[in-house]
Each structure stands twice: as structure tokens, then as C-alpha cells.
């Protein structure tokens, strides 16, 4: 009671001042707002924006924990200090060494993402005089999960500032943005610092730095002893170069014990998270299902092209085209993007029919970009951002179609 009373007194003290929005955000982080409506028509419901965001964060936490262990596992596996895990519950995966390396690399990404992003939110709230919005609670967790584990913290900080300001605040804040903020941040990183976001060495901790050390040693004519290269080559990169699926089995890809961005590798955990979001009515099952259908259709089309002989093994597109159509759901960031970002209720289509169209095109275009752009063998980020822009147009034509059908029925009845 003492803490609550003191916070209430401080809230009254700052009431009406320039810093009131910032303090109210801290106050309502611990306690629910005590303001209620007293008259007029209103809807009583147990959910609010903060609770909705917290449910999404709950769905993301297992992906974060798994990503921490996987970061350490991929590091030691690439060094040759451990053997490949024998399945999802292999003794070489869930170890303290993997946890320590993962925590050391991943937690700073989370701290910078939340620290910088919330600081920008607070500044805009104070300047504009409105309450701090809870929208960044989810974005702050998404960002560390969709970047390589060795992303420099200063790069992440610059990208977060850009994403929050340009991707959200200039449109009016949470609920008004037309682009997913987390993907806007990742897109900025990709186009501003491409060598840190693509290639075959950015997905395993230490791989890029070790390769740079080898290059320097070669130029200086020094001994390369102790500078063995770490292969951080991803499955997508391998397929794009017609090298096959490396040593990763389908179950490895499904469980997620493969290189990749921090939280995007485990299709199993992402699938469970998707079911949880559908059960809690936070995520749209229509978008998730239609995205998967779109990806499978595009994959089948490419498999058909390979079967027809139109594309030979000498083609640079052969590797990803020849991949089993359903494997596309397990590799890269497709599953993560579909469950957590394509379903963003602000930037996705709002009508039920629009959600089917929107989701199908997200999946269809994702696999198209993945195959036809081998320099960057992933397409879900660009596909979702593209469809974010077209979502209002899709909804417009769906609504207009409904209006025309109703007018037609009206004319028939009056005739």
C-alpha cells in the first residue's frame, strides 16, 4: 500500500506538467489506470492494449530462450568443440556453456532494443503531450529476435531510432503506422549495413570476426594457426548456391537447431506460439493459414518448373527451385514472419476476405523473392512490408465489392 500511495501522490504532483505522460507510463506499467467511464455508451471488456501486447510477448519468450541456447550451440559447433546435438533434447544443446554464450550475445540486443526504443517513445510522448503507448513492448522484443546474433549494438540503436521515428511516430504513433515497425528496423539494417545482415558468416557468433582476422593475417603474411574459419553458412545460402541441404535434417530444421537470426529458427516453437495467439484471439488464423498456402503454391510451381526441365542444374536458381515445396515453411524466417509480423493488426488487412488475399500474397511473394534473389535468399521481410503498403487497397476493394453486391440485391428487390 505504501508504494502504491507514494506513486499516486507523485502522479498528482506531476499532473498537468510536461513530464506527466512519461510518469504515467511508469505508473501504469505497475498498476492499471484507475480512470473509468461514468456515462454514455461504452463496451466493457477485460482486454486492453497492454494486455494484448503482454500476450504476444509471452508467445515470444520461448523463442527467445531457445535462441539464446542455439546461439551458443552454433558457436561451439562451428568451432568443432562439441558434436552435433542428437535431436531436440540432445545433451550438447541444453548446456550451461551454450546458455552463457547466448546470454552474453543476445541480452545486450534486448537491452538496447528496449532502452533506445522506449526512450524515443518517451521523448515523443513528452513533446506531443500524449500518453506513452504500449505498442513498442512487442516491437522491442521482436527486433532482437530477427537480427543476427553479432549485430553491433550501435547499429541496432541507430536502426531502432529510425524505425520508431520514421516507421511509426511520423504517422501518428501506435495504431496509425502503415509499416510494421520491427520490419522497418530490420529493413534499415539490411540496406544500410548489408554486410552485417547477409552472407554466410553473420549467423554464427564469432564467424565474421574470425574471417576478418584471417584476411588481415594473410595480408600481413602472418601464421594462420589458431584462426580456423567458422562456417556460418545458412541453409538458404547453401541452396542458393546449388550445394544442397548441408548436414541439416528436416527435423533439425523443424526443431530449429540450425544457424539463423536469434529467434526465427525453431518452427516448432513458432507453430506453438501461433496456436497460442489464435487461441487468445490475438493473431489471425486466416492470415497465417493463407500465408502458408501461398508459400506452398509458389513452391509447387517452382517444383513443377524443375520437373518440366525448363531449369537445369547449371542455373543459379536451381538450388532453391528444386527444394521440396513444403521445406520452404521450415527454413529462413518465413514461419516467424508469418506468425508474428504478417498478423500485426495495425498493418495487415482488416476485412476477413482481405486477410485471405493479404496472407496468400505474403506467402506467394516471399518464396518468389527467396528463389529469384539468390544474393539475399530470403523474402518474407520484403514481402510483408510490400503487402503492408497494399493492405488498405485490398480492404478498399473488398468493401467496395460488398457495397456493389448489396446495391445489386437492393435493385432486384425493388424491381
Does some domain include residue 25?
no
pTM for this predicted structure = 0.85
Torsion of CA 105, 111, 117, 123, to 10 degrees: -150
Residue 228 is predicted with a pLDDT of 45
Which of 186, 187, 168 is CA-nearest to residue 178?
168
| Interatomic CA distance for residues 385 and 381, integer angstroms | 6
Does some domain include residue 44?
no
Give the domain extent around 337. 49-402
Residue 47 is predicted with a pLDDT of 63
Buried b (16+ CB within 10 A) or exposed e, 313-334: eeeebbbbbbbebebbbbbbbb
Does some domain include residue 358?
yes
Residue 322 is predicted with a pLDDT of 85
Does some domain include residue 415?
no
- Which three cell numbers, joined as nine digits, stand for 230? 567458422
Mean pLDDT by 10 residues, the chain (415 residues): 52 56 55 57 62 89 95 86 74 88 94 93 77 79 93 94 88 80 92 84 76 58 46 61 66 89 93 95 94 96 89 80 89 92 92 96 94 79 94 95 87 71
Residue 231 is predicted with a pLDDT of 45
**Count of domains for the chain:** 1
DSSP per residue over 84-141, as a string?
PPSSTT-TTTS-HHHHHHHHHHHHHHHHHHHHHHHHHHHHHHHHHT-PPPTTHHHHHH
Residue 410 is predicted with a pLDDT of 80
Residue 320 is predicted with a pLDDT of 83
| Interatomic CA distance for residues 113 and 92, integer angstroms | 30
Residue 25 is predicted with a pLDDT of 56
| Residue in the structure block whose three cell numbers are 532494443 | 113
Decide: helix, strand or coil at residue 41.
coil
Residue 227 is predicted with a pLDDT of 41
Does some domain include residue 38?
no
Does some domain include residue 326?
yes
The answer for residues whose C-beta is within 8 angstroms of residue 75's C-beta and 6 or more apart is: 98, 101, 204, 205, 206, 230
Does some domain include residue 246?
yes
User: Would you tell me the crossing angle of helices 49-79 and 267-279 to the nearest 10 degrees?
Assistant: 170
Residue 24 is predicted with a pLDDT of 56
DSSP per residue over 163-219, as a string?
HHHHHTGGGTSTTT-SS-HHHHHHHHHHHHSGGGTSSSSSSSTTHHHHHHHHHHHHH
**What is the maximum span of the chain, computed from C-alpha positions, in angstroms?**
92
Does some domain include residue 285?
yes
Residue 223 is predicted with a pLDDT of 47
CA angle 379, 385, 391 (to 5 degrees): 125
Amino acid at each position: 500500500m505504501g508504494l502504491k500511495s507514494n506513486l499516486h501522490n507523485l502522479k498528482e504532483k506531476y499532473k498537468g506538467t510536461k513530464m506527466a505522460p512519461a510518469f504515467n507510463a511508469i505508473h501504469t506499467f505497475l498498476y492499471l489506470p484507475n480512470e473509468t467511464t461514468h456515462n454514455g455508451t461504452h463496451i466493457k471488456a477485460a482486454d486492453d492494449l497492454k494486455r494484448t501486447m503482454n500476450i504476444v510477448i509471452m508467445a515470444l519468450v520461448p523463442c527467445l530462450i531457445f535462441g539464446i541456447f542455439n546461439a551458443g550451440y552454433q558457436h561451439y559447433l562451428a568451432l568443432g568443440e562439441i558434436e552435433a546435438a542428437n535431436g531436440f533434447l540432445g545433451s550438447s544443446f541444453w548446456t550451461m556453456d551454450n546458455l552463457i554464450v547466448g546470454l552474453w550475445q543476445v541480452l545486450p540486443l534486448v537491452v538496447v532494443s528496449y532502452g533506445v526504443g522506449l526512450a524515443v517513445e518517451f521523448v515523443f510522448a513528452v513533446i506531443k503531450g500524449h500518453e506513452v503507448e504500449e505498442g513498442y513492448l512487442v516491437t522491442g522484443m521482436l527486433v532482437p529476435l530477427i537480427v543476427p546474433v553479432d549485430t553491433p549494438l550501435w547499429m541496432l540503436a541507430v536502426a531502432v531510432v529510425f524505425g520508431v521515428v520514421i516507421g511509426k511516430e511520423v504517422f501518428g504513433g501506435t495504431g496509425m503506422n502503415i509499416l510494421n515497425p520491427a520490419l522497418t528496423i530490420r529493413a534499415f539494417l539490411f540496406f544500410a549495413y548489408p554486410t552485417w545482415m547477409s552472407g554466410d558468416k553473420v549467423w554464427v557468433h564469432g564467424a565474421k570476426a574470425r574471417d576478418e582476422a584471417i584476411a588481415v593475417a594473410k595480408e600481413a603474411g602472418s601464421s594462420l594457426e589458431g584462426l580456423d574459419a567458422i562456417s556460418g553458412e545458412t541453409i538458404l545460402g547453401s541452396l542458393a548456391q546449388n550445394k544442397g541441404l548441408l548436414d541439416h535434417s528436416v527435423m533439425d530444421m523443424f526443431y530449429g537447431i540450425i544457424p539463423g537470426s536469434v529467434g526465427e529458427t525453431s518452427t516448432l516453437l513458432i507453430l506453438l506460439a501461433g496456436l497460442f495467439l489464435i487461441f487468445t484471439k490475438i493473431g489471425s488464423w486466416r492470415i497465417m493459414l493463407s500465408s502458408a498456402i501461398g508459400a506452398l503454391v509458389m513452391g509447387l510451381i517452382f517444383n513443377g518448373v524443375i520437373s518440366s526441365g525448363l531449369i537445369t542444374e547449371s542455373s543459379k536458381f536451381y538450388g532453391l527451385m528444386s527444394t521440396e515445396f513444403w521445406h520452404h515453411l521450415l527454413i529462413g524466417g518465413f514461419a516467424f514472419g508469418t506468425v508474428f509480423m504478417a498478423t500485426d493488426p495495425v498493418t495487415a488487412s482488416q476485412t476477413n476476405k482481405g486477410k485471405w488475399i493479404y496472407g496468400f500474397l505474403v506467402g506467394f511473394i516471399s518464396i518468389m523473392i527467396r528463389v529469384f534473389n539468390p544474393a539475399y535468399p530470403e523474402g518474407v521481410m520484403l514481402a510483408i512490408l510490400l503487402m503492408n503498403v497494399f493492405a488498405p487497397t485490398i480492404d478498399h476493394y473488398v468493401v467496395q465489392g460488398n457495397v456493389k453486391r448489396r446495391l445489386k440485391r437492393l435493385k432486384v428487390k425493388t424491381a
